[in-house]
Homo-oligomer: A and B are copies of this chain.
Amino acid sequence: MSTLRELAERLGVSVATVSRALNDKPGVGAETRRRVLELAQELKYQPNLAARSLATSRTQNVLFIVHRRHFMDTKDPFYPYIMQGLEEALAGEGYSVILVTISDSQLEAGPTAMSVFREPRPSAIVLAGPDISSSFILATATLDIKTILVDNALSKSSLPAVLQDNQEGCRAATHHLIDVHGHENIALLRGPNGWISSEERTAGYVLEMTSAGLQPIIYSAADTTIETGQEAALHALQTRPETTAFVAINDAMAIGAIRAAREMGLNVPEDLAVVGFDNISWSGYTDPPLTTVSVPMRDMGRMTARVLLDRINGTLSTSTRTIAATDLVVRASCGCSESSESIPDRAADEKKIPEK
């Protein structure tokens, strides 16, 4: 393990100069810099992170904070994918990703009560999921650590956030039912209010319905599971038998809707069309295979890394929302024949929207 001093001695310069050269800081002659970089490469110099952290009181770590109940959600694992994308993109940049799952009581106690925020502090913090309370977010943001939200956003704040295009995804799904399959009585199956993705998906549905001159019908359940989806769909089918299609806020509820249809003796998609959202791994194996909207989760992790790096390096100062494109995945539950599944993948696209 070579050290700064070793490099300095070999080159006959001071450690300060070597440090400056290696860190791209001004005040080093071009030729000197070149020689330093060359030798560093040759000796495979790796900075000692503890020493750097001690001197700067910052680690090279990024905290991935997620609610304990939500990290590995059984009905819809979302955050592990994002974390992996983040890790893959950050590993090459010299940053490590630390998993921190927090409980309700920690959420309430706030970030300062957590030892992971002690000196030296992380380079950045990723707050993942809509169930991180805004008080926790706000408290974190005042800590002078780069903070970014994923699958969540604060309406009145300028915190950077990475989101999937919920509204457009749900709009496209609804549009498909209307335009391709000619449905008119399309009901939305959704969960409780408050989560940004639910709200945006609902907005997409409503937008498309009204712009097609159709009446939006919304059924809200207390949760977004197979069971609640089934219940809500059953209720919908009983109270409004004219319903011919469901847009579900996620795949679990969509699967519940298919079960409800079967329970009522209805065939999917002949008597009832169903579309979901998220494209979870087993949505292709339901009977019939589920038409749904895919969310590029790993890409969202990579996007998060990019935004973070931009902020850490000071390249990007304006606050932005980064929106990952979603894609309609057409299978059979909407009424299509399953052959047309592949739609060109624009998952890697991303657009940056300067906030306000």
Interface of A with B (CB < 8 Å)? 1, 46, 48-51, 53-54, 57, 59, 61, 64, 68, 71-72, 74-75, 77, 80-81, 83-84, 87-88, 91, 94, 96-101, 115-116, 118-120, 226, 255, 281-282, 285, 287
Contact = CB atoms under 8 A, between A and B. Distances in A.
A101 B72 contact: no
Contact of A80 (B77, B88, B255, B285): B77
B48 A50 contact: no
Contacts of A118: 1, 46, 48-49
B119 A50 contact: yes
A83 B99 contact: yes
Contact of A115 (B46, B53, B57, B282): B46
Contacts of A51: 50, 54
B97 A98 contact: yes
Given A77-B77, A80-B77, A99-B84, A48 B120 contact: yes
Q: Is the interface of A mostly helix, strand, loop or mixed?
A: mixed
A71 B80 contact: yes
A281 B74 contact: yes
Contact of A255 (B1, B59, B84, B285): B285
Nearest to A71: B84
A120 B49 contact: yes
Number of copies: 2
A61 B59 CA distance: 12
7 contacts: A46-B115, A48-B118, A49-B118, A54-B54, A61-B96, A71-B80, A74-B281
A190 B6 CA distance: 56
Contact of A100 (B77, B87, B115, B119): B87
Contacts of A80: 71-72, 77, 80
Contact of A54 (B50, B91, B97, B115): B50
- Pick the 5 closest A-B CB pairs, nearest first: A50-B53, A74-B281, A80-B80, A50-B54, A50-B120
Most buried by B among A74, A98, A116, A282: A282
Nearest to A98: B96
A91 B48 CA distance: 24
Contacts of A285: 226, 255
A119 B88 contact: no
Nearest to A46: B118
B72 A77 contact: yes
A49 B281 CA distance: 40
Contacts of A83: 99
B226 A75 contact: no
